[in-house]
Structure 1
Amino acid sequence: MKPTTPAAEDYLKTIYSHTEWQAEPITPSALATRLGVAPSSVTEMVKKLAASGLLTHVPYGPLTLTAAGRLQATAVVRRHRLIETWLVSEMGYDWDEVHEEAEVLEHAISDRLLESMSSRLGNPTSDPHGDPIPAADGTVSMPSAVLLSAAPVGHRGKVLRVSDRDPAVLRQLAAAGVSPSTPITVADAMTLQLASGHSLQLTPSACDSIWVTR
């Protein structure tokens, strides 16, 4: 059964996104924290989604999307990321400004408008942060990546993805000219060496927000 409320879509999207770049499934308590809602609200929604055949779970255990739930989740993710791409490419937004706008618009635009938007943008496969945009049929092509904080000193590659969870990190990287596809070398645990020869000192939050080619 297709969820009909923005809240249900947000739950599915958050559950999907949690395991997109790592394998550990999300727990109800972590989901409540991510969504900023009470644990009792999560319990109620999880029951509804499970009854609709969109996820499986055991009491207090991790949450796993069913095939139907994953398809619904990727549809919402596709909307969100295409809107973010449109806001940056067509509306002049910076990449640290688009998340909240997309959170609202993803529940409002029609499928026809979404696909027209995708066509106008050249059917992009990733958003401004490097997150893959699912295809209309729900398929997703995930690149091989490693979290910067786990990359060894001397590792050379390109930035693949930057989490949009912390706008301050996005602003710092933008000011340094760093975005997906930027070549980098890991100088030490907290420092990137850029192709320009400049070094970029990062915070622990930034190191846990950047994925680079493996």
Structure 2
Amino acid sequence: MTFQELSTNSQDYLKVLWDLREWSDKAIQPTDLARKTGMKPSTVSGAMARLTTQGLVTHAPYGDIILTPLGEQYALKMVRRHRLLETFLVEKLGYRWDEVHKEADQLEHAASDLMIERIDESLGRPTKDPHGDAIPGPNGEMEEDSSILLTDAPEGVKVRIERVSDEDPKLLRFLQQQGLSINGSATIGKFTPYSDIVTLVLPSGAKVALGASAARRIRVTRLNDEGGTALS
């Protein structure tokens, strides 16, 4: 099956599977996909059966869902479209970073390969989108991601904000209002026992408290004392 022959729903499922894999190391279950898409488990199971028949995923009933090499190739094609469109909307049309996710969801299915290539060229072939996510190249090549979830960063460490999930516009607006942005720095505040709150201390001294669900949508890298990326 060629990419062009895939239904929009199948394209969306492949992109979501890639997104789930990017943000978590745990195996992907049908329940994860149902939660992410808002679909009924039975609907997800039917979709996975079709993708399995098409050779795009491997999935036994109640088992893990894994992208095949072809499925990964098509997923990266969708991810490239989505992230280039988000970047185009921000840089060329003046959208805010909290406004572009749903717009790109609609446009990515309609845009031709030629349009995506022209957009990439007009933007100077960017490697990151407005949320810090790596943009796959034409052949699926991507920069290596060494970031960690904010929830995994130890207390007292200085970090740089590398990526923020684009799915929650309210969180994106909140972070911007608090002065947090991609490539911005902060220090992990003191942990409170039995609390799911992560506190970030900004260079200005301002403190931003984030719940665990919000903190899990942010990826960071550890900085050394000079502001460069630490090796460990």
Normalising by the residue count of structure 1, what TM-score does the alignment of the two structures yield?
Answer: 0.95
How far has the Cα of 1:39 moved from its partner?
1.8
- RMSD of Structure 2 on Structure 1 (CA): 1.3
Give 2:129's aligned residue.
Answer: 127
Give 1:207's aligned residue.
Answer: 215
Gaps of 5+ in 1: none
For 1:206 and 1:34, how far apart are their aligned partners in 2?
15
Matched, 1:176 2:184: no
How far has the Cα of 1:204 moved from its partner?
2.8
The farther-off stretch of 12-21 and 66-75 is 12-21
State the aligned residue count: 214
1:160-199 matched pairs, under 5 angstroms = 160-189=162-191, 190-199=198-207
Does structure 2 retain, via aligned residues, the 8 Å contact 1:80–1:102?
yes
How far has the Cα of 1:161 moved from its partner?
0.5
How far has the Cα of 1:148 moved from its partner?
1.1
- Give the aligned residue type for 1:58: A
- Give the aligned residue type for 1:184: A
- Give the aligned residue type for 2:209: Q
How far has the Cα of 1:19 moved from its partner?
0.7
For 2:215 and 2:105, how far apart are their aligned partners in 1?
25
Does structure 2 retain, via aligned residues, the 8 Å contact 1:18–1:25?
no
How far has the Cα of 1:157 moved from its partner?
2.1
Normalising by the residue count of structure 2, what TM-score does the alignment of the two structures yield?
Answer: 0.88
1:103-142 matched pairs, under 5 angstroms = 103-142=105-144
Q: Secondary structure at the match of 1:19?
A: helix
Gaps of 5+ in 2: 192-197, 223-232
Give 2:148's aligned residue.
Answer: 146
How far has the Cα of 1:38 moved from its partner?
1.8
Q: Identity across aligned pairs (percent)?
A: 44
Task: Give the ranges of 4+ consecutive aligned residues of structure 1 lying more than 3 Å apart after TM superposition.
Answer: none
For 1:41 and 1:143, how far apart are their aligned partners in 2?
32
